[in-house]
Amino acid sequence: MEFMDLKEIQSSLPYLPPFLFVDELQHVDEVSAIGTFTFKSTLDFYKGHFKDIPVTPGVILTETMAQIGVVCLGIYLLRNEPPNRGQFVMTSAAVDFLKPVLPGEKVTVSSEKVYFRFNKLKCAVKMQNSKQEIVCAGTISGKIIKS
């Protein structure tokens, strides 16, 4: 199997700021991925979510877990496929939100592959804050769509 380093995986992500939620990819192998993101207080969604008490929206937390835990792992799993095979798109998510993520917090996302078959990748994902507390966890699935 062809080797693919972490920077190469990260540069293959189909996102750009302000919708790129991967600062550092720390580990990816056949069954797991780990990465980090810091929610800078200047991110636009904090201006209105919530009034006077900014909290990171759950949909953004879910997207962060999907980018690190599903898309980065998926890029790695497809490393030996022909170029432009397709992109991963989220098909389902079931996430429990346990603690708020505030502006300025750095989170770590880790995922474990549940299965990868028929072009669908399902992962168990969790997000931890800097105190190692789980802030959200669940399962996220993505599917390859042709480019």
Extended strands (E) in the chain: 24-28, 32-38, 87-97, 106-117, 120-128, 134-145
pLDDT at 81: 80
In a domain, 68, yes or no: yes
CATH number at residue 110: 3.10.129.10
| Selected catalytic residue, list 12, 20, 49, 97 | 49
Q: For the beta carbon of residue 64, count every other beta carbon within 10 angstroms.
A: 24
In the chain, the percentage of residues whose pLDDT exceeds 70 is 95
Q: What is the mean pLDDT of the chain?
A: 93
Q: For the beta carbon of residue 32, count every other beta carbon within 10 angstroms.
A: 16
pLDDT, tens digit (0-9, with 9 covering 90-100), for 65-85: 999 999 999 999 988 887 666
Residues with Cβ within 8 Å of residue 28, at least 6 apart in sequence: 6, 9, 34, 72, 73, 76
Predicted TM-score (pTM) of the model is 0.94
Residue 102 has pLDDT above 60, yes or no: yes
Cα separation, 135 vs 147, in Å, equals 34
Determine if residue 29 is left, alpha or beta; phi over 0 gives left, psi from -120 to 50 gives alpha, anything else beta.
beta
In a domain, 1, yes or no: no
In a domain, 107, yes or no: yes
In a domain, 103, yes or no: yes
What range defines the domain where residue 112 resides? 6-145
In a domain, 65, yes or no: yes
Cα separation, 37 vs 7, in Å, equals 15
In a domain, 132, yes or no: yes
- Total number of domains in the chain: 1
Find the radius of gyration of the CA atoms of the chain. Answer: 15
In a domain, 10, yes or no: yes
Residue 31 has pLDDT above 60, yes or no: yes
Residue 1 has pLDDT above 70, yes or no: no
Annotation marks residue 27 as catalytic: no
